[in-house]
Amino acid sequence: MDRLVIQGGQPLRGRIRVSGAKNAALPCLAASLLTPEPVLLSNLPAVADIRTMVKVLQALGTEAALEPEGEGFELKARLACGGSEDPKAPYELVKTMRASILVLGPLLARFGQATVSLPGGCAIGARPVNLHLEALERMGAVMEISHGYIHATLKGRLKGIDHTFEKVSVGATENLLMAATLAEGTTVLRNAALEPEIGDLAHMLAGMGARIEGIGTGTLTVTGVARLHGCEHAVIPDRIEAGTFLCSVAAACGDVVLDRCEPDHLRALLDLLERAGCVLTEREGQEGRQLRIQRECGQKLHSKDIVTQPFPGFPTDLQAQAMAVMTQATGISVINEGIFENRFQHAMELERLGANLRAEGHRAIVAGPSELTGCTVMATDLRASAALVIAGLVASGETVVDRIYHLDRGYAGLERKLQGVGARIQRIGGGKV
Ligand code: EPZ
């Protein structure tokens, strides 16, 4: 089992190229089921979840070829789903990657039936899918749940609905948006999630011939069409990967430029880090927007409170990383996790490194700055792993982060990118993603 070994205390200096967004790539891959024509997706991050989603698509009858692009941190996928006799997304794959549920809407829209394993919970929470199922039922699908699987059937085509999600859900918005593109009539999705990944999916669908109004707003209006055609689409940069690197510099000090990121997707974090005392500058680079973050060694950080919320609020996927930063800030930081019910598992591991914090229910209180000293810590979920790496970059001595298969699900070459800006970090164990 791979682990990362980090010698902390080294400021980070140089440039990092941000990869494509995992959470945009996954729904875009699922959207390829909506057409028999070839779809070419690029700037996909070379991470385990992408490979798993491609395996799910292949199990559903998609011909898929993945090839590396760039410096090996990205992948290009050529996909074509000519047909699917009895579309079934198997438990063995779905249990390793919950986002497989995103094939449900496209399969119903295209083939009128689907069998998808219930994803089950994960380390950060129960992760129910009721919002997906309720809305698809309103569109005419009949859902039967047995033996851990969703058996969805449909007479004729999905029907357009005017639907208000009772809770903002990224996945449910994506599933219904895809389903609505081939439905009969018009679908209005209200209280839709605003995350940039949804806008990216919508732009891809529009490129396939879908008719969508209100992209980027909380009300999406989709006029169903008879069929969609193939497309070429490059996914947006990964705002959570970019935010993870910004938090790394804020915690460990230094001066780093991020290439190919989108500052507008990160305003809540940029505001927090600026108010905490970091210097952030944005400019146009050869490959799109750039973000530079500076925190001089010895420069004091001010503690700030954090409440995670749906976009454009502070992202839950950066809560763990920001907690690692706040262990180095002077004062008390109150962190409220407003999205998931169990997303503080990194807190106990940060305490083992010497952080002074208490986590209870939806709230954690961090008192800083703390002297962190290296030890062996265990990753529990994707973003918690990133928080432990950040803390390891700060801690004196050696930190070993175990079970980094969690990290490999969502970060392409994290240790290599950090080595590129001077971090003393090595992967041992030799496994390949
Ligand atoms: C997406 O998960 C992301 N995953 C998550 O990123 C991210 O944390 C989350 O959105 C919130 O931003 C992908 O995009 C693949 P939700 P998703 O539906 O769609 C509840 C990462 O680290 N809910 O917006 O599953 C749910 O329990 C991952 O990259 C229901 O109650 O999140 C949660 O409390 C982790 N019923 C809240 O809504 C439902 O049917 C938001 O969940 C669906 C969700």
Q: Is the CB of 340 under 6 A from ligand 1?
A: yes
Q: Give the pLDDT of residue 70.
A: 83
Residue 70 — left, alpha, or beta (φ > 0 → left; ψ -120 to 50 → alpha)? Answer: left
pLDDT for residue 286: 81
Residue of 169, 176, 195, 345 best suited for mutating to test ligand 1, as the one with most atoms within 8 Å of CB: 169
Average pLDDT of the residues in 29-38: 98
Q: Is 169 in the pocket of ligand 1 (CB under 6 A)?
A: yes
In this predicted structure, what is the pLDDT of residue 86?
80
Query: 151 pLDDT exceeds 60?
Result: yes
Q: Confidence class of residue 91 from pLDDT cuts 50, 70 and 90? A: confident
Atom of ligand 1 nearest to the CA of 382: 22
Average pLDDT over residues 37-61: 96
Rounded-to-integer distance, Cα 27 and Cα 101, Å = 10
Q: What is the pLDDT of residue 432?
A: 47
Q: CA dihedral in degrees (261, 267, 269, 271; nearest 10)?
A: 130
Closest-lying ligand 1 atom to the alpha carbon of residue 381 = 22
Q: Are 110 and 182 in contact (CB under 8 A)?
A: yes
User: Are 399 and 353 within 8 A, CB to CB?
Assistant: yes
Question: Residue 73 C-alpha to ligand 1 middle, in angstroms?
Answer: 25
3-state secondary structure labels for all residues of 373-421: ECCEEECCCHHHHHHHHHHHHHCECEEEEECCHHHHCCCCCHHHHHHCC
Residue of 28, 81, 122, 375 marked active site: 122
Is 205:228 a contact under the CB 8 Å cutoff?
yes
List, for residues 166-215, the tens digit of each pLDDT value. Answer: 999 999 999 999 999 999 999 999 999 999 999 999 999 999 999 999 99
Residue with tokens 């001077």: 422
At 248-267, the pLDDT tens digits run 999 999 999 999 999 999 99
Residue 412 CA to its chain's centroid (Å): 12
201 lines ligand 1 (CB under 6 A): no
First vs last C-alpha separation in the chain? 11
pLDDT for 433 equals 43
Does the beta carbon of 130 lie inside 6 Å of ligand 1? Answer: yes
Q: How much is the pLDDT for 358?
A: 97
Sheet arrangement for strand 149-153: 88-89, 113-117, 149-153, 142-146
Q: Ligand 1 within 6 A of 311 CB?
A: no
Mutate to test the pocket of ligand 1, among 23, 201, 321, 341 (most ligand atoms within 8 A of CB): 23
Closest listed residue to residue 87, CA positions, set 31, 148, 152: 152
Instruction: Please tell me the predicted confidence (pLDDT) of residue 430.
Output: 57
Strand blocks (E) in 85-217: 88-89, 113-117, 142-146, 149-153, 162-164, 186-190, 211-213
Q: Which residue has the higher pLDDT, 429 or 385?
A: 385
Q: What mean pLDDT do residues 397-419 have?
A: 96
Quickly state the pLDDT bin for 162 (edges 50, 70, 90). Answer: very high
Q: Identify the pLDDT of residue 420.
A: 98
Which residues, including other chains, have CB under 8 Å from residue 342's CB and lie 6 or more apart? 123, 124, 125
Residue nearest to ligand 1 atom 17, measured at CA: 171
Burial class (CB in 10 A: 0-12, 13-18, 19+), 325: buried
Ligand 1 centre distance from Cα of residue 61 (Å): 27
Burial class (CB in 10 A: 0-12, 13-18, 19+), 112: middle
Residue 24 scores a pLDDT above 90: yes
Q: Which atom of ligand 1 is nearest to the CA of 195?
A: 12
Per-residue model confidence as pLDDT tens digits over 287-340: 789 999 999 998 999 999 999 999 999 999 999 999 999 999 999 999 999 999
If you measure from the C-alpha of residue 399 to the centroid of ligand 1, how many angstroms do you get, rounded to a whole number?
A: 30
Residue 146: helix, strand or coil by DSSP? Answer: strand
Mean pLDDT of the chain: 95
Looking at the CA of residue 240, tell me the nearest atom of ligand 1. Answer: 29
Domains and CATH numbers, the chain: 3-18+237-428 (3.65.10.10), 22-234 (3.65.10.10)
pTM of the model: 0.97
- 122 in catalytic set: yes
The atom of ligand 1 lying closest to the CA of 134 is 40
Find the mean pLDDT for residues 345-360: 97
* Per-residue pLDDT tens over the stretch 96-144: 888 999 999 999 999 999 999 988 778 888 888 999 999 999 999 999 9
